[in-house]
Chain A
Amino acid sequence: MGDFLIVWQQRGDVLEGLAGTLGLLVVSAIASLVLGALLTPALMSRRAAVARLATLYVDAMRCAPFLLFVYLIYFALPSAGIRMSNWWSGAIALILYNTAYMAELLRGAWRELPSSMIESGRAYGFSGFTLLRRIILPPVFTSAMPMIGNQVVQIVKDSAFLTIIAVTELTHQMNGIQATYFIPFAAFITAIALYWAICLVIESMTGLLSKFAEERRA
């Protein structure tokens, strides 16, 4: 139990790591969801070239392990003359990687959408971006909500990889504490418990949101 006491004494560092993970999570979840929603129409595009390009991007991301992509952003972009901090490299890697997954799962929900809905939207004079925003995206988002929740949990798990490029997040801070005080068990168990708590909160939030959406539709 003494080991956990040491972790408690270092709670400043732990909270800093937790705040880092949550910051990365909020920024990349919102950004990848928005970018994914913008990429989905490209995936569904009738123009073959646009659709093929978008599909190529999504498939490349789905083949690459996240860590490889992080290295690509962290090491290869600077040699192309683009420099940024570790935090931004990590955040951009999370955003670009998860954008592909978000776009793919939104596409899945979109294909399930009855075409009569879109046709009646067109009949009422909706077109282009307004059609997308008012008619297509709301039901797509509500039906994809559980899968979006899963993907957000995936973002939490991916963010732990960023310890390798020394971003201040939960696993990184805990590894630091572990290495200083030689308390690996207490440190990593605390980290895992905090990750669990984050994911339970995400799951209950998506549950609440889908319930809210159901009530609004009814």
Chain B
Amino acid sequence: MNAFDYWSISRGALATVILSLASIALGVPLGLGLALIRWAKVPLLNRFVIGYVSLIRSCPAVTLTLLIFFALPQFGISLDPTPAAILALTISTAAFNCEVWRSALVNFPREQYDAALSFAMPRALRFRRIVLPQIWRASLPGLVNEMTLQIKSTPAVAVIGIVEITRAALRVGARTYDPLPPFIFALVLYGLIVYVLIKTQRVIERRQPVERRA
């Protein structure tokens, strides 16, 4: 493996990071929206979200990516590989994030909500000031956990020709006839990305002092 090989795998890492960040940035708020639909028990949408989460949680990322990339053009929407990959990853991560947010919402102490209600806080303010800061803190470990899983499922988008870490490593291995070193290097890169994520979570947790309960 020469310097160029290391560089090409690192460029793959850039693709992995960009795809993951884009799908996380879209999927986390989307998951929150879905969780709020279930929390508020919006009549028809509630059933829809239950079905969506159940379906996506059992759907392999590879199959979903293939479906989006090959089937959408049948309906006249043709996407380039990168948007198709981001869409597939977002759809899958939103379902998992929905479950994380929802469990935080279910465990949210009811009396605080009632207290805010008795101060006549409007709905939006009630959510922004009372609910969100607390469920955000409760959901953070679960969300970061899901992000690490998300990074590990990005190789699925290699089936539609995106060159991310795993595929870049495969290419280097195919060229040098020695697949072990590029795979080890790829493993180190994945380890690094996951490590940075977990470190970031620790930093955020430290900056938010946990209030002491008497």
A175 and B166 contact, CB distance less than 8 A: no
**A191 interface neighbour in B63, B155, B170, Cβ under 8 Å:** B63
A196 and B154 contact, CB distance less than 8 A: no
**B159 interface neighbour in A157, A164, A185, Cβ under 8 Å:** A164
List residues 179-194 of chain B with CB under 8 A from any CB of chain A: 179-180, 183, 186-187, 190-191, 194
Contacts of B187 in A (CB 8 A): 60, 63-64, 68
A10 to chain B, nearest CB (A): 16
Give bound CA distance, A81 to B73, whole Å.
44
B58 and A153 contact, CB distance less than 8 A: yes
List residues 141-176 of chain A with CB under 8 A from any CB of chain B: 153, 156-161, 163-164, 170-171, 174-175
Contacts of A157 in B (CB 8 A): 58-61
**A64 interface neighbour in B55, B73, B190, Cβ under 8 Å:** B190
Contact (A160, B170) CB under 8 Å given A63-B194, A198-B58: no
B3 to chain A, nearest CB (A): 22
Contact (A160, B58) CB under 8 Å given A65-B154, A65-B155, A79-B178: no
Pick from A44-52, A69-77, A208-216 the stretch touching chain B: A69-77
Contact (A76, B180) CB under 8 Å given A160-B62, A195-B63: yes
> From B194, which residue of chain A is reached at the shortest CB distance?
A63
Question: Does residue B57 face the partner (Cβ distance < 8 Å to A)?
Answer: yes
Contacts of A161 in B (CB 8 A): 60, 62, 155-156
Question: Would you give the 0/1 interface string for B57-93, flagging 1 where the beta carbon is closer than 8 Å to chain A?
Answer: 1111111101100110111000000000000000000
Question: Does residue B24 face the partner (Cβ distance < 8 Å to A)?
Answer: no
Q: Interface size for chain B: under 10, 10 to 19, 20 to 34, or 35 or more residues?
A: 35 or more
Question: Does residue B142 face the partner (Cβ distance < 8 Å to A)?
Answer: no
A67 and B155 contact, CB distance less than 8 A: yes
B195 to chain A, nearest CB (A): 9
Contacts of B70 in A (CB 8 A): 178, 184, 188
A82 to chain B, nearest CB (A): 13
Contacts of B186 in A (CB 8 A): 68
B55 to chain A, nearest CB (A): 6
Question: Does residue A199 face the partner (Cβ distance < 8 Å to B)?
Answer: yes
Question: Does residue B112 face the partner (Cβ distance < 8 Å to A)?
Answer: no
Contacts of A184 in B (CB 8 A): 66-67, 70-71, 73-74
B67 and A71 contact, CB distance less than 8 A: no
> From B180, which residue of chain A is reached at the shortest CB distance?
A76
A175 and B59 contact, CB distance less than 8 A: no
Contact (A68, B183) CB under 8 Å given A157-B60, A171-B60, A188-B71: yes
| Shortest beta-carbon contacts, A-B, top 4 | A199-B58, A160-B60, A184-B70, A188-B67
Point out residues on A near B: beta carbons under 8 Å. Answer: 60, 63-68, 71-72, 75-76, 79, 153, 156-161, 163-164, 170-171, 174-175, 178, 184-185, 188-189, 191-192, 195-196, 198-200
* Known interface pairs A68-B155, A170-B63, A196-B54; 6 further A-B residue pairs with C-beta atoms within 8 A, sorted by A's residue number: A65-B155, A68-B165, A156-B58, A161-B155, A164-B158, A195-B58
Report 26 cross-chain contacts, Cβ distance below 8 Å, ordered by A residue: A65-B154, A67-B155, A68-B190, A71-B166, A71-B169, A71-B173, A72-B179, A76-B180, A79-B179, A153-B57, A157-B58, A157-B60, A160-B63, A161-B60, A163-B159, A170-B63, A171-B62, A184-B67, A184-B71, A185-B67, A185-B74, A188-B63, A188-B66, A188-B67, A195-B63, A199-B57
